Amino acid sequence: MIENINWYPGHMKKTRELIQANLKLVDLVIEVIDARIPLSSRNPIIDELVQSKKRIIVLNKSDLSDGSENEKWAEYFKAGGDLAVTMNCMSGGGVKQLYKVLEKEQEAKNADRPVKKPLRMMIVGVPNVGKSSLINRMTGKKSAQTGNRPGVTRGKQWLSLKNGMQLLDTPGILWPKFEDPKAGLDLAFCGSIKDEILDTATLAMELIGVLSEEYPKLLMERYKLAEISETSLATMEDIAVKRGFILPGKRIDYERCAKAVLDEFRGGKIGRITLERCMKPERQGADD
């Protein structure tokens, strides 16, 4: 297993300071997470910074995650005291639902005020979970840069929505060290950590191992495999042979195979997959 994944560039520290300095200016925080890895894509530093500030959890990329798990996770977060919405920010799925939640919050904010004030929000999350796509959907224009690589957003941006609400965008923030190696792996699988700092062949092999256990049928169907081999390496080699990723001398092109598997997982081509299944209610209570 890949262990000790560390990626904490200088701008991450600046982002932490940015969130801390501007938190008092907003009424609530929208935390965008990846629905495929709902816990691994939640930064504990954000919990520490936000504290008692009201929060809406946006489970983005819910079109790529296991549909049977999406609502379970939404209920899990609601049970913990947060609001939660499942979304596909690229297509706009769930935007109307989010606006309904925000309008309700704005009404509550202005209930006893003679002068009505617009709701002010801050959007936070780890890199590459779709914050910029959500902002572009909410503003109706390309206000924020988007990309399938982490670290696109560079500084804070105040944006005004059509309904008068105001939105503060912040760059993605990872934490200095992953205490749980699985969290680092999950983030790497989903593209929240730059591939350049990882051994992509080993990362893809790790992913194949997870999918072989959790979603073997999807893996076999995507790569036309008759069966899952005993080891992840053997399965990866089977995939390479099926796809023709062969170098001169009949050698396996592991790098090309790895890139294909990672890209196809991240793009949802292998199927709708959730790498973290929702906890059972009794365990959830124990963790609170």
Mean pLDDT of 176-199: 81
Query: Which regions of the chain carry the CATH code 3.40.50.300?
Result: 10-178
Q: In the chain, pLDDT over 70 holds for what percent of residues?
A: 84
Q: pLDDT (tens digit, 9 = 90+) per residue, 7-22?
A: 455 556 677 777 888 8
Query: Which regions of the chain carry the CATH code 1.10.1580.10?
Result: 199-266
Angle between helices 95-110 and 131-139 (to 10 degrees): 70
Mean pLDDT of 90-114: 91
Q: pLDDT (tens digit, 9 = 90+) per residue, 154-186?
A: 456 688 887 889 998 777 666 555 667 788 899
pLDDT at 202: 94
Residue 266 has pLDDT above 70, yes or no: yes
Residue 60 has pLDDT above 80, yes or no: yes
Q: Strands, E, within 139-276: which ranges?
A: 157-160, 166-169, 246-247, 251-252
CA distance 239 to 258: 10
CB-count burial class (<10 Å; 0-12, 13-18, 19+) for 288: exposed
Topology of the domain covering 10-178:
Rossmann fold (3.40.50)
Structure-model confidence comparison of residues 20 and 108, the more confident one: 108
CATH code, residues 199-266: 1.10.1580.10
Mean pLDDT of 203-219: 97
Q: In the chain, pLDDT over 90 holds for what percent of residues?
A: 55
pTM of the entire structure? 0.84
